[in-house]
């Protein structure tokens, strides 16, 4: 990166900026960001993961609860995009507007760490998927595979440096391409579906899966992860051509992905016995299609998974750089992270993000188990911003802010309350041990928050922020002690 390609970006007023001049991202591109970030590898492994957790009856109950909870979160992002149109950055902006700069920082910082660590996972799995065709890539973390993953990473990097709009267009095309194999599977599965297989042991009484409630809980723990990315359009709200499109893209993306997940999951129970589906190797969708149409089906799904992972990688690279750029523009992170190149791409944030991804890729060569633990931590970190967003809607409804006439206040309070309860459950289900360890990452990033305050010539910490940093520090001490003594395990 040469110096003349990068310029510092001062904090603009609302409505200013390069994207406003270009017209911003349209509804299809915003919807593709939601779909592209939600559909990665999870849907391709969903049949076996769910079959190992629940029979069809409990599965339907679990999907109903999950669908309702995530729909409420989708409505939260839609409502906040409309009522707080002056707040940019989605999960970061809502946390900051509702609870102050430091909470906004933790939301952005945790989201960023979660996103780039997740990108490492996409790259490793992409290489493992290509191992179906190239044996030297098998496993995803061989030396040859890491070289291949690094090459893909820097190709995406170069694409994003050409501008966010160019990357968003490519993401839209890739998102359409990766949905095609899923729709093909659904069509073939619908033809081959056998109702007798679906209804056999409908409640799992003889399957050794536990009670109905145990099965519901177990399958819901799987669904926690498949909806991550629902906030994609909200994070990119500042680059949207029309603010109203942010809410529409969130709902459209969620409904579309939910329909695909339900179809893939439920139809799988009618293709093979549940126990057989549970025993399939991943991607289990490929094994199911192979059982229906032959070996070409497995190859077709493997190609679809590779395209899906590439699309998810592009989506999350875009989200990574945006979640750093906006806080830097608002003096919550160092202003250098808002620097853009001549194409309007946040180049410094991009180099930092992909540099971290590259280092972690090299780390996976020698520490695969540690990397897996970091993936779990990353998932926990991304759930906290959902909680802050839901809590912000509840706060607005309780205080009456933006509800001058009172219309819709009770409805939004109810929606926000349900979404908040679900978000709390998600954080709990993600593992309390990881919440303690997350404090270590927040504490490590607090130095950047203080640096940004110093650059802006502001008081380093307000009285409230001193209390919050004290809590993070105390939790970090507990985390260190717990890790040392073994009663916190990650």
Q: What does the pLDDT average to over 198-202? A: 90
Residue 58 sits in which domain range?
23-432
What is the model's pLDDT at position 465? Answer: 96
What distance separates the 2 farthest-apart alpha carbons in the chain? 70
Q: Is the pLDDT of residue 7 over 70?
A: no
360 lies in a domain?
yes
486 lies in a domain?
no
468 lies in a domain?
no
Q: Is the pLDDT of residue 341 over 80?
A: yes
Contact at 8 Å (CB) between 41 and 122? yes
DSSP assignments along 22-42, one per residue: HT-B-HHHHHHHHHHHH-SSH
Judge residue 172's burial from the number of C-beta atoms within 10 Å of its C-beta, 0-12 exposed, 13-18 middle, 19 or more buried. Answer: buried
Question: What CA–CA distance (Å, rounded) separates 302 from 318?
Answer: 25
DSSP secondary-structure letter at 281? Answer: P
What is the model's pLDDT at position 18? Answer: 41
For 87, the enclosing helix (H) or strand (E) is none
Q: What does the pLDDT average to over 461-466? A: 95
Q: Is the pLDDT of residue 477 over 90?
A: yes
| Residue 262 pLDDT grade (very low, low, confident, very high; cuts 50, 70, 90) | very high
pLDDT exceeding 90 applies to what percent of the chain? 44
| Residue 356 pLDDT grade (very low, low, confident, very high; cuts 50, 70, 90) | very high
416 lies in a domain?
yes
Q: Is the pLDDT of residue 320 over 50?
A: yes
Q: What does the pLDDT average to over 318-337? A: 92
417 lies in a domain?
yes
* Cα–Cα distance list, 63 to 33, 226, 490 (Å): 23, 12, 28
**CB neighbours of 108 closer than 8 A, spacing ≥ 6?**
89, 91, 92, 95, 323, 324, 326, 327, 332, 333
Q: What does the pLDDT average to over 141-157? A: 91
DSSP assignments along 290-304, one per residue: HHHH-HHHHHHHHHH
440 lies in a domain?
no
91 lies in a domain?
yes
CATH number for the domain including 55? 1.20.1740.10
Q: Structural domain tally of the chain?
A: 1
The residue behind tokens 């990688």 is: 313
Q: Is the pLDDT of residue 166 over 80?
A: no
pTM, full prediction: 0.84
Answer with the residue of higher pLDDT: 388 or 15.
388
* Cα–Cα distance list, 234 to 28, 58, 80, 226, 239 (Å): 14, 32, 9, 18, 10
321 lies in a domain?
yes
Q: Is the pLDDT of residue 49 over 90?
A: no
Helix (H, G, I), strand (E, B) or coil at 467: helix
Q: Is the pLDDT of residue 14 over 60?
A: no
**CB neighbours of 152 closer than 8 A, spacing ≥ 6?**
123, 126, 310, 313
Tokens of 254: 């969620």
């Amino acid at each position: 990166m040469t110096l003349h390609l990068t310029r510092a970006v001062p904090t603009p007023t609302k409505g200013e900026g390069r994207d406003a001049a270009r017209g911003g991202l349209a509804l299809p591109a915003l919807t593709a960001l939601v779909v592209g970030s939600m559909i990665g590898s999870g849907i391709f492994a969903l049949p076996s993961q769910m079959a190992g957790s629940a029979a069809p009856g409990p599965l339907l109950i679990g999907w109903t609860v999950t669908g309702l909870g995530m729909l409420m979160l989708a409505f939260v992002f839609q409502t906040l995009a409309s009522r707080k149109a002056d707040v940019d950055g989605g999960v970061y902006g809502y946390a900051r507007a509702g609870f102050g700069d430091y909470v906004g920082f933790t939301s952005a910082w945790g989201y960023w760490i979660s996103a780039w660590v997740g990108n490492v996972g996409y790259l490793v799995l992409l290489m493992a998927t290509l191992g179906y065709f190239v044996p030297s890539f098998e496993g995803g973390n061989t030396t040859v595979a890491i070289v291949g993953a690094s090459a893909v990473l820097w190709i995406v990097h170069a694409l994003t440096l050409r501008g966010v709009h160019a990357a968003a267009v490519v993401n839209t095309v890739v998102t359409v391409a990766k949905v095609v194999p899923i729709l093909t599977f659904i069509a073939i599965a619908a033809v081959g579906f056998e109702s007798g297989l679906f209804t056999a042991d409908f409640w799992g009484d003889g399957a050794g899966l536990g009670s109905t409630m145990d099965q519901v809980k177990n399958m819901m723990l799987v669904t926690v992860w498949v909806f991550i990315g629902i906030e994609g359009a909200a994070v990119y709200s500042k680059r949207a051509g029309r603010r109203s499109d942010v809410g529409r893209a969130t709902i459209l993306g969620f409904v579309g992905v939910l329909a695909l997940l339900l179809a893939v999951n439920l139809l799988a129970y009618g293709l093979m016995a549940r126990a057989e589906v549970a025993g399939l190797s991943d991607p289990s969708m490929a094994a199911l299609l192979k059982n229906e149409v032959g070996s070409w089906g497995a190859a077709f799904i493997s190609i679809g998974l590779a395209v899906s992972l590439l699309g998810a990688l592009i989506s999350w690279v875009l989200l990574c750089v945006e979640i750093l750029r906006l806080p830097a523009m608002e003096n919550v992170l160092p202003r250098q992270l808002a620097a853009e190149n001549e194409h309007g791409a946040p180049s410094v944030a991009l180099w930092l993000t992909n540099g971290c991804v590259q280092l972690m890729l090299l780390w996976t060569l020698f520490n695969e188990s540690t990397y897996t633990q970091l993936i779990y931590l990353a998932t926990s970190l991304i759930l906290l911003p959902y909680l802050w967003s839901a809590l912000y809607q509840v706060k607005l409804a309780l205080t009456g802010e933006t509800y001058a006439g009172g219309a819709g206040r009770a409805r939004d309070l109810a929606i926000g309350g349900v979404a908040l309860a679900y978000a709390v459950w998600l954080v709990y289900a993600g593992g309390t041990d990881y919440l303690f360890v997350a404090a270590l990452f927040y504490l490590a990033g607090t130095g950047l928050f203080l640096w940004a305050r110093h650059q802006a010539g502001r008081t380093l910490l307000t009285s409230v922020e001193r209390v919050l940093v004290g809590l993070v520090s105390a939790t970090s001490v507990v985390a260190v002690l717990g890790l040392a003594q073994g009663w916190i395990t990650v």
